[in-house]
Amino acid sequence: MENLSRRQRQIMDILFRESACSAEDIREHLPDAPSNSAVRAMLSTMVKKGYIKQREENFRYVYSAAMKQEIAQKTALDGLINTFFAGSPSAAVSALLGMQSEKISAEELDELSSLIEKAKKK
């Protein structure tokens, strides 16, 4: 995922959010959308590179992500942690908690505590 252009990442975001879309649906969701032919060219490239899949449905192609969103999230998070936090998950969590502490509910804090306890047992 890190080798994708900005537009290609936007397309992946749309496909993860919407599950499957036609080229026109994708174009409608893109900010400052390029031409139809430009969107179709990007989709073709992404299919060839294996990032997305296409299937024919009612005489049009429908596109979906080739990988599960959880895998893409893990890959992106690993890259973020390695790039900005010297590979330290605790530094990333600390930064996130520092930025978002007032927005975290009691239930989310309990869930985080539970995850930390499970990680300690491993």
Do 100 and 50 reside in the same domain of the chain?
Answer: no
Quick one: average pLDDT of 11-16? Answer: 94
pLDDT tens profile 46-95:
999 999 999 999 999 999 999 888 888 888 888 889 999 999 988 988 88
Per-residue pLDDT, 68 = 87
Task: Report the number of distinct structural domains present in the chain.
Answer: 2
CATH label of the domain that carries residue 40: 1.10.10.10
- What predicted TM-score, i.e. pTM, was given to this entire model? 0.70
28-59 burial, b at 16+ Cβ within 10 Å, e below that, comes to: ebbeeeeeeeebbebbeebeeeebbbbeeeee
Residue 1 lies inside a defined structural domain of this protein: no
Per-residue pLDDT, 21 = 94
Do 55 and 73 reside in the same domain of the chain?
Answer: no
Residue 93 lies inside a defined structural domain of this protein: yes
Give the pLDDT band of residue 1 (cuts 50, 70, 90): low
Classified as helix, coil or strand, 20 is: strand
Do 46 and 85 reside in the same domain of the chain?
Answer: no
Token output for 4: 């994708």
Is the predicted pLDDT of residue 2 greater than 70, yes or no?
Answer: no
Quick one: average pLDDT of 32-57? Answer: 94
- Asked if 30 contacts 7 with a C-beta cutoff of 8 angstroms, the reply is yes
How far is Cα 30 from Cα 52, in angstroms, rounded to an integer?
A: 16
Domain encompassing residue 23: 6-65
Domain limit, last residue, from 50, 65, 80 = 65
